[in-house]
Chains A and B, each alone.
Chain A
Amino acid sequence: MASYKTNEFKGGLKIMLDGDPYTIVENEFVKPGKGQAFNRVKVRNLKTGRVVEKTFKSGDSVEAADVHETDLQYLYNDGEMWHFMDTETFEQMGADAAAVGEAAKWLKEQAMCKVTLYNGAPLSVEPPNFVILTITETDPGVRGDTATGGTKPATLETGAVVNVPLFLEEGETIRVDTRSGEYLSRAKED
């Protein structure tokens, strides 16, 4: 198994700690005038997202985590797993609810997602930054009201609920920023 020495530590490096994959967020080298040097490291647990501090003796080695990011296309949900495909190799793989997490509510068939693979299996899924989705449920539109800036909740085809301007109707398609969960605009009909 590949390993990294502390002098290779830097932001973004993927390492194994206590059986879980982590990414290094911050690394600080500290050394007294004479004697033992240390690396004070902030790491993010790639499974839970939690950031914790760790202290290493400089010169120690840590096992590398087999973690990398890849772009995969979302295909469908079978009720239990979300299925993705590598559009070059056509290889398919399933991600469970823990891996998909919050991304689930934005996933529409054929969306390209950033999937983090750990030992070849999906560990986390990032939806596209911007998605275009259809409103499936909302209160009737208030005609002409484009100026007051009032909003109402609207349920989208993927299940996400976003606040939209009062004039929008069921069946309309809108553009949403998945990072903030905010409505951006009406989507142009192609």
Chain B
Amino acid sequence: MSEAHWRPSADRSTLQARAQLLAELRAFFAERGVLEVETPILCAAANPDPAVEPLHLDADLTGTGTRRWYLQTSPEFAMKRLLAAGSGPIYQVCKVLRADERGRRHHPEFTMLEWYRPGFSLEDLMDEVAALMRRLVHRPELPMERLRYRELFVQRLGVDPWTATVVELQALAHARGIADARRLDLDTDGWLDLLMSHILESDLGRDGLTFVYDYPASQAALAQVLPGPPSVARRFELYWQGMELANGFDELLDAPEQRRRFADDDAERAAGKQPPLPTDEHLLAALDSGLPACAGVALGLDRLLMCALDAEHIDAVLAFPAQRA
């Protein structure tokens, strides 16, 4: 280990920018009457989404014996329980952790801003995200555009994500020069993810904030699905300067549907030989009792800082990345 590893990897002006960002977002939400909350980092259950792997530890936190605790990959489930209990609009700034995510734009432990707005439509929430972004980066005129997922693929790649076959998407990936696309074994969503992250993403948000929205129903995660046809998942992703910054949802309210999606995720985890995770029965009970109609969004503050400060690597905006922790 290098001698200099006791030192932070972010410089002092970056630490100041981070502190100012936190102060300004708290002011923003205070003005709008959104309540700041805190929920546990260590959770008895975990989100079974196969694309996200939680870290865990074994400890006796309740005096009833050692058991497994999962470090939150997002505060979503606990915040939805608060909403179901009548909290009204809430936000949280917290550390979330995801195993195996490390790269220029990924660090296993990162800072998330997540908020929920009862009574907001997905469009209302996109507007609020844009207002917050303009405030945080001090650019009141920063333009925003909305682009349907389908339009994005049709306009830029000439393919309809709702009808394209695996064979067509693979041929497209190959034609677009994605290295060894012929060897990869992916399902439709996997190919769409590949095209999104390798071809489309770098052009999104070049001239301002780009909200991509209305995703294929198979990529719904925890969003409401409109039956269509074609059916669409009511969610959005915010891109700025070619970087994905936020994920927003018209939140799923239907407890039986939530149970089905958990079961689907569990089955996919099992098929992929990923470890099984305990289901969050508290969340399901909260949905059973009634979650108010709401829209919610999670925004990565480290990446926002990267954009605002023109940082090439996430380590430049962290005091101590894992290698120095």
Contact = CB atoms under 8 A, between A and B. Distances in A.
Interface in B205-254: 219, 221, 237, 244, 247
Contact of A32 (B49, B101, B184, B193): B193
Nearest to B178: A55
B104 A36 contact: no
Contact of A33 (B178, B247, B272): B247
B128 interface: no
A52 B179 CA distance: 8
Contact of A29 (B101, B178, B185): B101
Given A40-B198, A55-B179, A57-B190, A28 B184 contact: no
Contacts of B185: 57
Given A33-B247, A36-B189, A37-B51, A28 B194 contact: no
A54 interface: yes
Given A31-B197, A35-B189, A37-B51, A55 B106 contact: no
Contact of B194 (A7, A33, A38): A38
A36 B193 contact: yes
Q: How large is the interface on A (under 10, 10 to 19, 20 to 34, 35 or more residues)?
A: 20 to 34
B197 A30 contact: yes
Contact of A55 (B180, B192, B201): B180
A55 B194 contact: yes
A58 interface: yes
A33 B238 CA distance: 9
Contacts of B104: 28-29
Nearest to B220: A34
Given A30-B197, A58-B100, A35 B219 contact: yes
Given A33-B237, A34-B219, A36-B186, A54 B179 contact: yes
A53 interface: yes
Interface in B90-113: 100-106
Contacts of B51: 31, 34-37
Nearest to A41: B179
Interface residues of B, number: 31
A57 B179 CA distance: 12
Contacts of A7: 100, 102
A140 interface: no
Contacts of A36: 51, 186, 189-190, 193-194
Contact of B103 (A29, A35, A55): A29
A32 B238 CA distance: 11
Interface of A: 7, 28-38, 40, 52-55, 57-59
Interface of B: 49, 51, 100-106, 178-181, 184-186, 189-190, 192-194, 196-198, 201, 219, 221, 237, 244, 247, 272
30 contacts: A7-B100, A28-B103, A29-B102, A29-B106, A30-B197, A31-B51, A32-B197, A32-B201, A33-B237, A34-B237, A34-B247, A35-B51, A35-B192, A36-B51, A36-B186, A36-B189, A36-B194, A37-B51, A38-B194, A38-B197, A38-B198, A40-B179, A52-B179, A54-B179, A55-B179, A55-B181, A55-B184, A55-B194, A55-B198, A59-B272
Given A37-B101, A59-B100, 6 more contacts: A28-B104, A32-B193, A34-B237, A36-B51, A40-B179, A55-B179
